[in-house]
Structure 1
Amino acid sequence: MQSLITSCLASLISVLFIQFTLFMLPLFLPTSSFITLLPLAALLIVIVVGLGRCCKRLVGAKASAPAFVFFSIFFIWVVHISLIRRVTSSVMDIVFTIEIVMLILGLYRIMSSDPGFVRHDSSHHETAIKNPLSEVETHTEELEPSTYPTLQESHAEEGLIVRSGRYCRYCDAYVKGFDHHCPAFGNCIGQKNHFLFVLLLIGFVISEASYVACASQFAARFKTLDEVKTETAVSSSLAISTMLFSLFQVIWQVVFLMWHVYCACFNIKTDEWINWKKYPEFHVKILSDAGQPQTGLQFKNPYDKGILRNLKEFLTAKG
């Protein structure tokens, strides 16, 4: 319990430090345009996150990535309630509140969900779900291929092979339909929760885009007021800094979302795309002109059944 509290506290400090750093940006560069501030904000976020990780390693503290996500959402919500809602309509205020509540519920749901753990009789790699809040934000996406022989399944209908369980070294378990281990959500993304993961990504994009729209209204309105007043300058800087943070989030989340839509359309997982050379079913030997096999390998996706069938399988997957 103490380590959990410590990791959550480290995540809270990280969120506050990042937001404070971004807050100082428009305060010291009041005449800079939003387009100019955006790349500076992205650079600051990268620097601050890097420095934060170094500091946490020095003091031996471990932050929780899911807690970082939660506190970031909560911080944006608090700013909206205390500041931004002054210039937004009551309808938009209610809609944004519903979006935030749904995000928090979705975050809890995916953290506690079973991604499709494969249970078997082996004494190796017993299936166990760790506490999501114990996931460290420094996880890398170094995905390890499955090598456990008893998990390989036979050919399915129409000559197509069925995916075996892939091993996740973070959860120490095999996951059916394993896509990747998501440190931000503290859980594996597999066959049972991949669709929920995509829905949650869409929810993040919509809610943060909504906040950007509301905050831009606030910043535009207060820009016409007396800029000498401290309250006006602080409020405007806070609105702009949180808007920069949210827009930065939206940009990379849209790219990530597009990738997962692509994977769903062609029925391939992130782990398989990265490590396809380690999975024999993706191998096609390159033949020479004389008809003799060469040492090189060519990629071929044996799970691709056409976009419509792939999407139907993705939407109806239950593990």
Structure 2
Amino acid sequence: MQVLVNLIRVSTTDPGIIPRSNEQETLELEGGGSSDGTRSKKVTVNGVEVKLKYCRVCKIFRPPRSGHCAICDNCVDRYDHHCPWVGQCIGLRNCRSYVALVISALIFFVYIFAFSCWILHRKNVHGFIGMVKTCPETLALAAFSFNAIGFLGALAIYHVYLIAINQTAYENFRQRYVGSKNPYDRGILSNFKEVFLVAVPLPKVDFRAEVVAKLHLVELSETSYST
């Protein structure tokens, strides 16, 4: 049950989508920039200079640690990765639920594997052929659970390691801090506290307001057409 709850939370929670700029902001940014078409800003984070990249799709300077997801076509705050298993980006607002999903799924499959082995032992089946003939469904479940444990175990260890050093999978994959200081690393305890104990920030995008605005435009177009 806990696995399903965490799955629903991860797949339905806004990962931290950053709003795109409005028309006025876009005009101001398009009028700026360097002569070669590149745009960048620099900010200082804990004494380390960090470069802010300009997103040509969202027309914004992305905040530190954010990234643009090519699949979702959105800039996400503290972008970790796009998870194909849940069909959702993993970012600032759902990272905690994602780690909980991986760990709870790992515990669930460990239980299934142990229970399957207990069933095989209880039926006193000897040899692989005997298990296939007597209880093939239990054998298949044990084999599937064993593979799932290996995959989820490695994934859980990797993300716990990333939390301990305060890096995202995106930063770690691109080796963002190799040879330089990680300005976000504040120690193992503080890093875990930042992920699991700090309140989740409110979403920056009001999806309901956007739908209402579109409905209002439809009503105006229908009114003008009827007149």
TM-score category (smaller protein): 0.5 to 0.7
Q: Residues 268 and 240 from structure 1, CA distance in 2 versus in 1: closer, same or farther, beyond 3 angstroms?
A: same
Judging by fraction of residues, say which structure has more helix: 1
2:94 aligned with 1:212, yes or no?
no
The one-character-per-residue Cα deviations of 1:157-205 (angstroms, maximum 9, x if unpaired) are x435672421111110011111111001110110111111110111101
- RMSD over aligned Cα, in angstroms? 2.9
Which ranges in structure 2 are unaligned for 5 or more consecutive residues? 24-37, 51-62, 202-227
- The residue aligned with 2:165 is 266
- One-letter amino acid of the structure 1 residue matched with residue 145 of structure 2: S
**Which residue pairs with 2:44 in the alignment?**
155
Amino acid at match of 1:159: G
CA distance 1:260–1:224, change in 2 (3 Å): closer
Instruction: State the Cα distance separating 1:301 from its structure 2 match.
Output: 2.0
Partner Cα distance (2:124, 2:85) in 1? 35
SS in structure 2 at match of 1:116: coil
Question: Would the aligned equivalents of 2:47 and 2:183 in 1 still touch at CA under 8 Å?
Answer: no
Question: Any conservation in 1 of the 2:3–2:104 contact (CA below 8 Å)?
Answer: yes
Alignment counterpart, residue 98 of structure 2, candidates 197, 218, 229: 197
Partner of 1:154, secondary structure, is: strand
Residue 122 (structure 1) shift? 5.4
Contact 1:166–1:176 (8 Å) recurs in 2: yes
- Report what 2:7 is aligned to: 107
Residues 127-180 of structure 1, C-alpha deviations (whole Å, 9 max, x = no match): xxxxxxxxxxxxxxxxxxxxx958x67335x43567242111111001111111
Uncovered stretches (5+) of structure 1, i.e. residues with no partner: 1-100, 124-147, 284-297
Cα distance, 1:313 vs structure 2: 1.3
Q: Give the % identical residues.
A: 26
Deviations 1:200-235 (A, max 9, x none): 11110111111111111111122349x999xx8555
Please report the TM-score for the alignment, with normalisation by the length of structure 2: 0.66
Partner Cα separation in structure 2 for residue 242 and residue 103 of structure 1: 18
Larger proportion of strand: 2
How far apart, in 1, do the equivalents of 2:134 and 2:7 lie? Answer: 29
Contact in 2 for aligned 1:218/1:236 (Cα 8 Å): no
Runs of 4+ in structure 1 deviating by more than 4 angstroms, as ranges, are: 232-235
1:223–1:236 contact (8 Å) kept in structure 2: no
- Separation in 2 of the partners of 1:121 and 1:274? 29
Confirm whether residue 177 of structure 1 aligns to residue 78 of structure 2.
Answer: yes
How many residues align structurally? 172
Contact 1:153/1:164 (CA < 8 Å) preserved in 2?
no
Letter in 1 for 2:110: A
Q: Does the 8 Å CA contact 2:65/2:79 hold for their aligned counterparts?
A: no
Judged with a 3 Å threshold, the aligned counterparts in structure 2 of structure 1 residues 122 and 234 are, in CA distance, closer, same or farther, namely: farther
C-alpha contact 1:166 1:174 (8 A) present in aligned 2: yes
| 1:115 and 1:191 in contact (8 A); partners too | yes
Maintained 8 Å contact 2:14/2:94 = yes
**What's the secondary structure of 2:44's corresponding residue?**
coil
Asked if 1 retains the 8 angstrom alpha-carbon contact of 2:109 and 2:145, the reply is: yes
Q: Where do 1:1-319 residues align within 5 Å?
A: 101-121=1-21, 154-156=43-45, 158-159=46-47, 163-224=64-125, 234=133, 236-276=135-175, 282=177, 298-315=179-196, 316=198, 318-319=200-201
SS of residue paired to 2:43: coil
- Aligned-partner residue type, residue 8 of structure 2: Y
Contact 2:79/2:92 (8 A) holds in 1: yes
Query: 2: CA distance between counterparts of 1:182 and 1:276?
Result: 20
